[in-house]
Structures are given as structure tokens and as C-alpha cells.
Amino acid sequence: MPIAPPGQAIEVAVFYSIEAPAELEGRFLERRATPILYMTLPCGEYVSIVARRVPFEARLVPEMRGRVQARRRALQHSEIL
């Protein structure tokens, strides 16, 4: 899925279902959602991850005031292995 244009955002959703991905795909596409990934669980049920473009609503983005921000640092090669 390409980057959202100005004024829009990408909404990502996770769906848990007993229906097979082939049965769900048409409904996702009707709702303008792009299937990204399907997983079959050991019990035979499915998890689907889909994305779609939606209008960006700044009021829904939480403010960072009063929250502790994580410190960032580059990982060293030895920390990755």
C-alpha cells in the first residue's frame, strides 16, 4: 500500500475469523481495504491484517504532553546478534 496522501491516513486492522481468507477477501475489497497478511492458527481459524486509507483526524492523535518519551539510541552490532 502506498503512503497516504496529505489529509489522509492508513488505518490498519486485525481480524480474527473462522472464515477462510479466500471467503473474506471480497468483503475486504468492497470496503476498500487491502489485505496485507493472512495467518492460519493451529486451531484452523484465521487472522487477517488489512489496511485502508481514511481521512486524517488530528483530534484523534493523542498529545505527548505529560508523557515520558523513550530515549532513542543506535544499536551496536553486538546488541543485534
- Which pLDDT score, from 0 to 100, does residue 52 have? 92
CA 34 to chain CA centroid, Å, is: 11
Percentage of the chain modeled with pLDDT above 90: 43
Cβ 13 vs Cβ 50: under 8 Å: yes
pLDDT tens sequence across 44-71 = 999 999 999 999 988 887 776 655 566 6
CA 15 to chain CA centroid, Å, is 11
pLDDT at 57: 87
The pLDDT, as a whole number, for residue 41 is 94
